[in-house]
Structures are given as C-alpha cells and as structure tokens.
Chain A
Amino acid sequence: MLNSLTRLGLAAGLAVSLAACASTDHGVRSAGDRPMDLSSTEASLWYQTDEAESRLQASGQLNSDPALNAWVNARICEVAGTFCDDLRLYILESPTFNASMAPNGMAIVNTGLLLRAETTDELAFVLGHEFVHFEENHFLERHAAMRNANVTSTVLGSVIGVAGGGGLSSFGSLLAYGGALSFSRSQETEADTKGLIHATEAGYSADAGAAIWSNLLDELTASDHDEVTRRGNDGGVFGTHPDIDVRIASLTAQAADLPVHDGDRAAYRRIIRPFLQDWLDMHIVRRDHGATLALVDRLAGQGEDLGVLQYARGRIYAMRADDGDDALALAEFEAATRHADAPADAWRAIGEMRRAQGDNPAAAAAFQAYLDHSPQARDRYLIERLITDLTGTQP
C-alpha cells in the first residue's frame, strides 16, 4: 500500500515538476520591448536589474568622463542599430575583462576591456557579442534553463533516492546542471558568431574577434596563479563558456568569409591614453605580476606611451621583488624618464631606490626632478625634507 502511495506521489511530483519547467526559447526581442506581464519571470529579471542599475548609478566606481562615455556609447549604437535607445552605458572602473548588457538595457563596459582592446574593431566585436545576449534574450533563457535544471535535479534525485539508488541520486543533479551549462556554452558560441556579424556590418574588421581572445589567452597563460591560467581553457562539461582556443578557431574560420582590414591601433590608443596609467595601476595592485607584465609588454609593443608603460613595468618588478628585480625595476624607471610621457612618480621611485642603495646625491637629484615634474605634489613637504636630509641643504 505504501509503495503504491509512494509511486502515486512520485508520479504527482513528477507531473507538478514537469509542469513547472519553463521554455528556454524566448525568441528575439524588438526595439522598445519591455515586459507587460508583471507576474512573469522576465518582469522579475527587469525588476532586479532595475534595482542593480539604480545602485550602479550611485556607485563611485563609474567612469564619468563625458568624452569617453560618448565615444563608447557611439560604438554601442553602431552595433545595436535600432536598439540604441534601449541601452544605457555605464563604464565601470574595474580591471577585469568584462562587459554585459542586462535585460532592462543596462550596458556595463569594464575599463579592463577598454584597456585590453587594441583597436576599435576589437571593442566592437565584444560589444556585438554582448548585444546578441541582449537581443536574443539569453539572460532570460539561461534563467529558464537553470530553473529547469533545478526541477529536473529535484525530480531525478527523488526518484533515484526513493527507488533505493541512494548515493546515485547526485548523478541526476550532474545530468541536469550539465545540460544547463551546455546551454550556456551554446549561447556564448551564438553570441560570438552573431556578434562578429553585427560588428562587421557596422564596418569593423572580422579578424578582431579572434585577435582579442588570443591576446586574452596569452595574458591568462602568463598568470602567476594556476586558477587564472586554467580559466582560459577550463570549459569542459561544467564550464559556462567554451574554451578560448575553441572560440579563437571558430571565429578565425568565420572571419575567412567576412571583410577584414587593418585596425587603427594608434587611433584607439588616443582614446584610452588619458586613462592608461590609472587603469594599469588597477592591474598592478592585483599582484598578478605575470599577467600584468604580459599585458604591459603587449601594449608597449605598439611603440607608444613608453613612459607610462615602462614606469608600470618598473612597479611590477618592484612589487614582485624576486632576485634581481630591484635592478630591473630601476632600469625600467630610468628608461621611463627618457620619454616625454613619463609620470612624475618615476623620478620619485628612482629617488626611493637610490636612497635605499645609499646613493644620496642620486636620490636627492631624483627627488628634485620629481618635484620639478610635479610642483603640486601632495607629498611635496615630505620630499623637501628628504632632500634636506640627503644633501644637508634646502632645495
């Protein structure tokens, strides 16, 4: 009797759970769309992203530079076309390589992405990728897939458990969530493919997609941290994104049939140049010296901004502090000062290193050069006292 009741209950539970499964196909949205049914999951996601957006607006992490915001927004409009008015850009001062477009139109571009792109074409590809997630309702579909995975996991786990499967019930969960993650990876592939088309239709070069992923993969590979190094190609069955080398191969093949032209690196660098040092500083303090060195080396390969970039390289060596790094750091700081764009802090760093070596005249000269290059330095009084101590004279 109990077995019959159990089977009846399981059948009822299965029916209820299956009825709770949601469709994972939400089609393509139209410009100006917003959920009319406030009881829907879509309205729930909009509500939550509206809340997140209002908090973001009050955040101190936003880059408020009008020119940069206008320029990036114009690139979004190029790839988003008629959806331009539905999207609201926020440039987030964050060193991570990321961007997103939420269902309610909140578009976030991290400065870590702007720093890593070498051309406007590469930026346009990433914006196109994120726009596909927005246009194709991927966020909503992924939410439905995860919800279905929860239901399936519960039902399969219960059925296997009640049937005496015990420890095997977790396999039900593996199957369910493995399916949801596979769905997520297929969305990323779709976003890469269609995003590249959006970017090329806006006039950007088709080889930019593979290029930005290749550069990122190099950086991840150079990381000091195993978990970061693995991040590039740890997709597997439980990854939310495909392996980067798979994405590079796919985008390279796709680009063969699309227009390709040389990207204007110098023009793009002019856009980000005012922020270059601040954005690099955010990377340096993360203390992933291998990855940051790879990034700096790549940026320096363009042959511009060498004062800023060699100063950054010097800071990395100084923070890493391996054997011989002091000499490398000093050499980089001194090389930086030979370029017109060298930050005043390069002379200060030289002063500190010379002082540590006991070379007081050289330290005093470097500190004086620092004050000459930064007359309004906040630590001016301290540096003047240092020079006095080092030389016995007033500066």
Chain B
Amino acid sequence: MKHVALAATLAVGGLIAPFSAHADDAPADGHAPAQYLIMEPNAEIIFITTGGAEVRADWTEAATNNLRGHFSDQISSAGYTVTGFDSDAQHADEIQQLLYLFELVSASADLNMPHKGGRGSNHDITLGETASLLREHYNADRAIFVDHYSQIESGGVFMTQVLVGTATGFTPPSQNVRATIGTIIDLETGDIVERAQATLGDARDEGESAGIVTRVLNNLPLE
C-alpha cells in the first residue's frame, strides 16, 4: 500500500504548487517556535536484480539514519526545538498502534478520489486525538513523519534492458524509483497540517540525503 501511494505521488509530483512558508522562515510574530518531534523515518530500499527484488537492509538502514539526522539538523538550524522519536523505547500499545495508523493515513492521504475533488482532497483524513499521546510523551506540538521508498536496479538489469532493446527494438522502462514524503501532523488534533514530497536523490548517500530533506522542507510550512 505504501508503495502504491508513493508511486501515485510520483506520478503527479510535477503538479504540486509550492507552499507558502519555508523552513528558513524564522517565526516572526513573537510566539515561541513549535516543538517538532522527528519520527523514525519509514524507509525501504529495494534492490532489483535479474533474479528478483529484495529489501537491502544495509541501504535501508543508511537511508533511515541519513534522513533522521538531516531532518533533525535542518529543522533545528531553522530555529525550532527538535525532539527525536525514540524507536528503541518500549512505548505504550496505543502509541505503537498510532504509528501503524499513520501508515494507513499516509497511504490514503494522496489517493486520487475524483468523487471527492481529486488529488489532495483526502488530506482531511486524520490520526485523531490519540495523536496527543505523542504530544504528552515528547512535549511536542507537531510531528514530522517521513516516508521514503527507493528501487535501485542492478547493472545486470541494465544490461538485460540493453540486450532486450538490441534484440527486439523495445527497451523496457527503467524500474528505478526515488520518493520521499514529509508529513506534518498537529499533535493536538491529529490532523495533517501539510505534506510535501521530493523525487530523485539517493538517500543512502549523506550529501544527497541532505538535498532530499532540503527539497522536502522547502514545501513544508514550519511554524
């Protein structure tokens, strides 16, 4: 389901207009900057070979660490207080269920629903007031959830595509995919405040990961 949502996001990525505020907008109205809770990135990197596709544990771990670190660094650099979600801690069942609920919310939020007004019309889907459990546990106003999905082809797959193209005149399309989505959740109401996505970029690489995060935050209004 996550992959479907990310793929759908990719397909219409070019249509998204930039949002009005940016990470480097310092809070100018005098109120205290929001405390942001950086959730553990939900990343998955698939390696596609001629023998099939498999999750790469090392790449997934690298991407998770890079994205977590860069979201934290860039948001705190913009003047906001940042707290990291402790994924090693034994949280209450309700919080664990909340994390699974977010996966559904995230997968559903970008579904194109023509009868409800098209893409984005489903952003009123909410985590509900149980999101306040995170607010109480981490003393944060908002949470940033991060989804990342990549498919990376092997050299063998590339060679096969070249081979098929040479032999038949039809070159199979590339299966490489890169997508990162950031979602800000209001921890009082559980509502989606904003979502933004960035395509391209290799989250395994520390430098490219920083660029991915910058591009996501460019379209996420922090306050």
Bind each other: yes
A55 sits at the interface (CB 8 A): yes
Interface string of B59-102 (1 = CB under 8 A from A): 11100000000000000000000000000000001001100100
Q: Which residues of A contact B20 (CB under 8 A)?
A: none
Complex formed: what's the CA distance from A239 to B162 in Å? 35
- Counting chain A CB atoms within 10 Å of each CB, which of B57, B154, B155, B168 scores highest? B57
Residues of B within 8 A of A58 (CB): 93, 96-97, 100
User: Which residues of A, 1-55, contact B by the 8 Å Cβ criterion?
Assistant: 5-6, 9-10, 12-13, 16-17, 19-22, 38-39, 41, 43-48, 55
Given A9-B167, A17-B156, A158-B167, is A38 in contact with B58 using a C-beta cutoff of 8 Å?
yes
Contact of B113 with A by CB under 8 A: no
CA distance A164 to B164 in the complex (A): 14
Counting CB contacts under 8 A, is B55 at the interface? yes
Contact of A9 with B163 in the complex, beta carbons under 8 Å? yes
**Contact among A38, A146, A147 for B57, CB-based, below 8 A:** A38
Q: Are A20 and B163 in contact (CB under 8 A)?
A: no
- A277 interfacial contact with B, CB 8 Å: no
Contact B97 A20 (CB under 8 A): no
A22 and B49 CA atoms in complex are apart in Å by 12
Q: Does A162 sit at the interface, judged by CB under 8 A? A: yes
Chain B residues with Cβ below 8 Å from A19 are 156
The answer to whether B166 and A5 touch across the interface, beta carbons within 8 angstroms, is yes
Q: For chain B, which range describes its interface: under 10, 10 to 19, 20 to 34, or 35 or more residues?
A: 20 to 34
Say yes or no: B61 contacts A16, CB within 8 Å: no
A45 to B54, CA, bound (A): 8
Task: Give the distance in Å from the alpha carbon of A48 to the alpha carbon of B60 in the complex.
Answer: 11
A287 to chain B, nearest CB (A): 29
Query: Which residues of A have CB within 8 Å of B100?
Result: 55, 58
Q: How far is the CA of A1 from the CA of B97 in the complex (A)?
A: 62
Please tell me if B160 contacts chain A, counting CB pairs below 8 Å. Answer: yes
The minimal Cβ–Cβ distance linking A178 to chain B, given in whole angstroms, is 17
B53 to A: closest C-beta gap in Å? 10
Chain B residues positioned under 8 Å from A146 (CB to CB): 52
In the assembled complex, B159 has its CB within 8 A of some CB on chain A: yes
Provided the pairs A17-B50, A21-B51 are in contact, do residues A44 and B57 lie with their beta carbons within 8 angstroms? yes
Query: Is the CB–CB distance between A44 and B56 below 8 Å?
Result: yes
Q: Is A10 a contact of B167 with CB atoms below 8 Å?
A: yes
Mark contacts of B158-196 with chain A using CB atoms, 8 A cut-off: 1 yes-contact digit, 0 otherwise.
011011101110000000000000000000000000000
CA distance A309 to B56 in the complex (A): 50
Q: Are A6 and B159 in contact (CB under 8 A)?
A: no
Q: Closest Cβ of chain B: how far from A377's Cβ, in Å?
A: 30
Q: Which of A150-167 contact B (CB under 8 A)?
A: 150-151, 154, 158, 162
Shortest Cβ gap from B108 to chain A (Å): 18
A46 in contact with B57 (CB, 8 Å): yes
Q: A5-B166, A10-B163, A17-B156 are in contact. Are A147 and B52 (CB under 8 A)?
A: yes
A41 CA / B51 CA spacing, docked (Å): 12
- Residues on the B chain within 8 Å of A187, using CB: none
Which residues 124-160 of B have a CB within 8 angstroms of A? 154-156, 159-160
B50 in contact with A6 (CB, 8 Å): no
**B50 and A154 within 8 A (CB):** yes
Is A148 at the interface (CB under 8 A from chain B)?
yes
Shortest Cβ distance from residue A173 to the other chain B in the assembled complex, whole angstroms:
14
Q: Given the complex, which residues of A lie within 8 Å of B50, measured CB to CB?
A: 16-17, 20, 150-151, 154
Residue in B52, B56, B93, B163 whose beta carbon sits within 8 Å of that of A39 in the complex: B56
Q: Indicate if the CB atoms of A9 and B49 lie closer than 8 Å.
A: no
For B55, give its contact among A22, A47, A154 (CB under 8 Å): A47
User: Are A48 and B163 within 8 A (Cβ)?
Assistant: no
Contacts of B55 in A (CB 8 A): 44, 47-48
Within the complex, the shortest CB–CB distance from A93 to chain B, in Å, comes to: 17
Residue of B nearest to A146 (CB): B52
Report the separation of the CA atoms of residues A148 and B58 in the bound assembly, to the nearest whole angstrom: 22
CB <8 Å contact, B54 and A6: no
Q: Verify B167–A162 contact, CB threshold 8 A.
A: yes
B49 touches A20 (CB 8 A): yes
Q: State whether A20 touches B51 (Cβ < 8 A).
A: yes
* Complex: A48 Cα to B45 Cα, angstroms: 12
For window 172-198 of A, CB contacts with B under 8 Å fall at none
CB pair B57 A16 closer than 8 Å:
no
Contact of A150 among B52, B164, B168 (CB under 8 A): B52
1/0 contact trace for A259-302 toward B, CB 8 Å?
Answer: 00000000000000000000000000000000000000000000
What are the 4 closest A-B residue pairs judged by CB atoms, nearest first?
A: A147-B51, A38-B58, A47-B57, A43-B57
Other than the known A22-B51, A47-B55, what 5 A-B pairs have Cβ atoms closer than 8 Å?
A6-B166, A12-B159, A39-B59, A158-B160, A162-B167
Q: Residues of B at under 8 Å CB distance from A?
A: 49-52, 54-61, 93, 96-97, 100, 154-156, 159-160, 162-164, 166-168
Could you list 24 examples of A-B contacts with CB < 8 Å?
A9-B163, A10-B167, A16-B160, A17-B50, A17-B156, A17-B160, A20-B49, A20-B154, A38-B58, A38-B61, A39-B56, A41-B54, A44-B55, A44-B56, A44-B57, A47-B57, A48-B55, A58-B96, A147-B51, A150-B52, A151-B50, A151-B51, A158-B163, A162-B167
> A interface vs B, CB < 8 Å?
5-6, 9-10, 12-13, 16-17, 19-22, 38-39, 41, 43-48, 55, 58, 146-148, 150-151, 154, 158, 162
